């Protein structure tokens, strides 16, 4: 399909003026740009409550923000959410509006995790924080008035990578017990030669060279070893059997399209209940634009429906 008209108009605006590719920016510039772009998405929906807490991590406390939906009731199911940004950018603040919308649409509490970023904290810091936060939240569910029987992990892009890796680790380490995984255009494998990387290398917001930049910053000096590690490339796991049900969302004009589709297919082949949906005409990052693009609202409804199906 062609690009969605709303997406094309937005891309024309982005590329129509002075434009610096992200991988040619300094890290501070790229982080400021992502925050400024996120601020333009609006303040987000009102929710019943927002609570900033700290989870215990392997190298100190991990900031976590818990959103409780307007339809709040006791013992809410919980989605532990990891933001995108190539393990280098993003924060609780950049994904605040989306987490609010997802909480309200699903009726679930959403706990957004502010894991440590590369290159200051290279692999496996982001994974270590993400797994520790999920385990801590599961252990603390009763105290937080959450349903410890219904906890899922989720995230977009690098956050989808972390969610998939946490689900694998939870299986292999005997916990925490997870009810599902919501994987939004996830990074699942270090392979920049896939057809979608070539076809969507430039001009669609996330580029092939920016992904190379992210991987290099995340992996640091251990690039070859890390790229093969299941905590970084979960698609390379020998088996995905006995993982919780999954919903994998991808975008047609996204370099990450093929690896997301491959992960969903491997989940299904491993006997995991896995739903897969490609959103035609869309680009990487589209799901957070719920105030502007109807397909983003559709994806939000689909994600919320998946979460409700788990509880």
What are 75-120's pLDDT values in tens digits?
A: 999 999 999 999 999 999 999 999 999 999 999 999 999 999 999 9
pLDDT for position 48: 96
pLDDT for position 61: 98
Instruction: Please confirm, yes or no, whether 156 is among the known catalytic residues.
Output: no
150-207: pLDDT as tens digits: 999 999 999 999 999 999 999 999 999 999 999 999 999 999 999 999 999 999 999 9
Cα dist from 297 to 28, 82, 230, whole Å: 31, 20, 32
72 has a pLDDT exceeding 90: no
- Marked catalytic residue, from 4, 96, 254, 302: 254
221 has a pLDDT exceeding 90: no
- Marked catalytic residue, from 91, 106, 112, 157: 157
% of the chain residues with pLDDT over 70: 100
Rounded to an integer, what distance in angstroms lies between the CA atom of residue 156 and that of residue 188? Answer: 11
232-286: pLDDT as tens digits: 999 999 999 999 999 999 999 999 999 999 999 999 999 999 999 999 999 999 9
Across the beta sheet with 76-82, the strand order is 49-57, 60-68, 109-113, 76-82, 146-156, 180-184, 246-253, 274-283
Higher pLDDT, 221 or 75: 75
Instruction: Please confirm, yes or no, whether 254 is among the known catalytic residues.
Output: yes
CB 123 within 8 A of CB 129: no
Higher pLDDT, 40 or 227: 40
Cβ-in-10-Å burial (0-12, 13-18, 19+) of 238 comes to: exposed
CA atoms lying within 13 Å on the CB side of residue 29 = 8
Instruction: Please confirm, yes or no, whether 270 is among the known catalytic residues.
Output: no
b/e 142-181 (16+ beta carbons within 10 angstroms → b):
eebebbbebbbbbbbbbbbbbbbbbbbbbbeeeebebbbb
């Amino acid at each position: 399909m062609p690009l969605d008209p709303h997406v094309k108009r937005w891309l024309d605006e982005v590329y129509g003026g002075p434009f610096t590719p992200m991988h040619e920016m300094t890290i501070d510039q790229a982080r400021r740009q992502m925050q400024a772009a996120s601020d333009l998405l609006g303040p987000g929906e009102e929710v019943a409550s927002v609570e900033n807490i700290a989870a215990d991590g392997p190298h100190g406390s991990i900031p976590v923000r818990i959103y409780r939906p307007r339809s709040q009731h006791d013992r809410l199911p919980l989605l532990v959410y990891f933001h995108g940004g190539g393990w280098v950018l993003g924060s609780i603040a950049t994904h605040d509006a989306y987490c609010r919308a997802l909480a309200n649409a699903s009726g679930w509490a959403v706990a957004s995790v502010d894991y440590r970023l590369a290159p200051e904290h290279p692999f496996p810091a982001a994974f270590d924080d993400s797994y520790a936060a999920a385990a801590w939240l599961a252990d603390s569910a009763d105290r937080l008035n959450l349903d410890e029987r219904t906890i899922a992990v989720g995230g977009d892009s690098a956050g989808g990578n972390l969610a998939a890796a946490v689900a694998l680790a939870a299986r292999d380490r005997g916990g925490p017990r997870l009810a599902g995984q919501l994987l939004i255009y996830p990074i699942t494998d270090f392979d920049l030669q896939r057809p979608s990387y070539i076809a969507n290398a430039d001009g669609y917001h996330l580029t092939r060279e920016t992904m190379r930049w992210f991987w290099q910053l995340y992996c640091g000096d251990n690039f070859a070893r890390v790229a093969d590690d299941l905590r970084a490339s979960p698609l390379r796991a020998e088996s995905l059997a006995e993982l919780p049900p999954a919903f994998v969302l991808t975008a047609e004009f996204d370099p990450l399209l093929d690896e997301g589709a491959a992960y969903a297919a491997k989940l299904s082949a491993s006997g995991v209940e896995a739903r897969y949906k490609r959103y035609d005409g869309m680009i990487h990052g589209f799901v957070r634009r719920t105030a502007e693009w109807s397909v983003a609202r559709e994806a939000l409804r689909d994600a919320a429906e998946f979460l409700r199906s788990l509880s």
